Amino acid sequence: MVHKEKTVQICETQRLVIRTLSLNDVPELTKILSDPDVMKHSIRGVCDAAATRRFIDWCLERYLSHRIGPWALVEKGADKLIGFCGVSPEEVNGVEEIGLGYRLAKQYWGMGLATEAVQAVLSVAFSQKQLASVVAVIEPDNGASLKVAEKAGFSQFDTIEFYARPVRLYRLTLQQWCSLHCTIANSPSA
């Protein structure tokens, strides 16, 4: 059961705690999602407090229905919400896919935190949730997200229209993820 005010830790990285979002996150997440630079490549555009609450309600519903969704990114030590990252169901080209999404507060850009968060989220998605594949929908002029996707293992893409925008549709399969990140138990030692 997902509680609207309590959170559950999903995993940790060197610099982040990744946990479920809660309604208590509305004020801090609104500060992030109301920044036009942060939301430049979002189909939703900037979010006020009401839109942020609707987004968190949607996330809470995904936690219940799919056991996945966008998760809070909290800076270790400071216990400060700095964004979100997660995988969730999304319709792409008329098909339900599991899509990767993330946003970071602008002051945390360029520090490798998006890459760190994406790799941790994909590890949970593939190793714990046993997802077959994850897609990333990225606008071609979003250079930072293209680099994050590449570092996570996304490589080949198709060009499609998504909400009337030309985008790159990347797909990473469980097999591709494992070839990059999984170790084989009982492998012969050198």
Report pLDDT digits (tens) over 53-110: 999 999 999 999 999 999 999 999 999 999 999 999 999 989 999 999 999 999 999 9
What per-residue confidence (pLDDT) applies to 184?
58
What per-residue confidence (pLDDT) applies to 151?
95
**Are 86 and 98 in contact, with CB atoms under 8 Å apart?**
no
What per-residue confidence (pLDDT) applies to 114?
98
Instruction: Tell me if residue 135 falls in helix, strand or coil.
Output: strand
**Are 120 and 155 in contact, with CB atoms under 8 Å apart?**
no
What is the set of domains in the chain, with CATH numbers?
9-181 (3.40.630.30)
**Are 39 and 31 in contact, with CB atoms under 8 Å apart?**
no
Neighbouring-strand partners of residue 87: 100
What per-residue confidence (pLDDT) applies to 187?
43
pLDDT (mean) for 123-152: 95
Note the pLDDT tens digit of each residue in 34-44: 999 999 999 88
Reported confidence tier of residue 2, pLDDT bands at 50, 70, 90: low
**Are 118 and 85 in contact, with CB atoms under 8 Å apart?**
yes
User: Which residues have a Cβ under 8 Å from the Cβ of 184 and sit 6 or more positions away?
Assistant: none
Which tokens hold the place of 141?
Answer: 């002029």
Which tokens hold the place of 46?
Answer: 């900037």
pLDDT higher than threshold 90 for residue 6: no
pLDDT higher than threshold 50 for residue 171: yes
pLDDT (mean) for 121-137: 95
- The per-residue pLDDT of the chain, averaged, comes to 93
What per-residue confidence (pLDDT) applies to 185?
52
pLDDT higher than threshold 80 for residue 186: no
pLDDT higher than threshold 60 for residue 190: no
DSSP conformation letters of 76-96: TTTTEEEEEEEEEEEEETTEE
Distance CA 68, CA 140 (A): 27
